Chains A and B, each alone.
Chain A
Amino acid sequence: DAGVTQSPTHLIKTRGQQVTLRCSPKSGHDTVSWYQQALGQGPQFIFQYYEEEERQRGNFPDRFSGHQFPNYSSELNVNALLLGDSALYLCASSLGSLAGVNEQFFGPGTRLTVL
Chain B
Amino acid sequence: GENVEQHPSTLSVQEGDSAVIKCTYSDSASNYFPWYKQELGKRPQLIIDIRSNVGEKKDQRIAVTLNKTAKHFSLHITETQPEDSAVYFCAASRGAGGTSYGKLTFGQGTILTVHP
Interface residues of A (CB under 8 A from B): 4, 31, 33, 35, 40-45, 48, 50, 55-56, 58, 90, 92, 94, 96, 98-109
Q: Are B103 and A58 in contact (CB under 8 A)?
A: yes
User: How many angstroms from the CA of A96 to the CA of B45 in the assembled complex?
Assistant: 19
Q: Which residues of B contact A105 (CB under 8 A)?
A: 46
Q: How far is the CB of B47 from chain A (nearest CB, A)?
A: 12
Q: How far is the CB of B91 from chain A (nearest CB, A)?
A: 8
Given contacts A102-B95, A103-B34, contact A109 B43 (CB under 8 A): yes
User: How many angstroms from the CA of A105 to the CA of B93 in the assembled complex?
Assistant: 14
Q: Which residues of B contact A100 (CB under 8 A)?
A: 95-97
Interface residues of B in 61-116 (CB under 8 A from A): 89, 91, 93, 95-98, 101-109
Size bin of chain B's contact surface: 20 to 34
User: How many angstroms from the CA of A43 to the CA of B103 in the assembled complex?
Assistant: 11
Could you list 9 examples of A-B contacts with CB < 8 Å? A41-B109, A45-B103, A56-B103, A92-B104, A99-B97, A102-B96, A103-B34, A104-B102, A106-B44
Contact of A50 among B36, B42, B91, B101 (CB under 8 A): B101
Q: Are A43 and B101 in contact (CB under 8 A)?
A: no
Q: Which residues of B contact A103 (CB under 8 A)?
A: 34, 46, 49
Residue of A nearest to B49 (CB): A103
Given contacts A98-B96, A99-B96, contact A106 B104 (CB under 8 A): no
Q: Which residues of A contact B103 (CB under 8 A)?
A: 33, 45, 48, 56, 58
Q: Which residues of A contact B46 (CB under 8 A)?
A: 103-105
Residue from A42, A43, A90, A101 with most neighbouring chain B CB atoms (10 Å): A42
Q: Are B102 and A102 in contact (CB under 8 A)?
A: yes
Q: Which residues of A contact B97 (CB under 8 A)?
A: 99-100
Residue of B nearest to A107 (CB): B43
User: How many angstroms from the CA of A24 to the CA of B101 in the assembled complex?
Assistant: 19
Contact of B44 among A33, A56, A90, A98 (CB under 8 A): A90
Q: Which residues of B contact A109 (CB under 8 A)?
A: 43
Q: Are A43 and B104 in contact (CB under 8 A)?
A: yes
Q: Which residues of B contact A45 (CB under 8 A)?
A: 103-105
Q: Are A106 and B43 in contact (CB under 8 A)?
A: yes
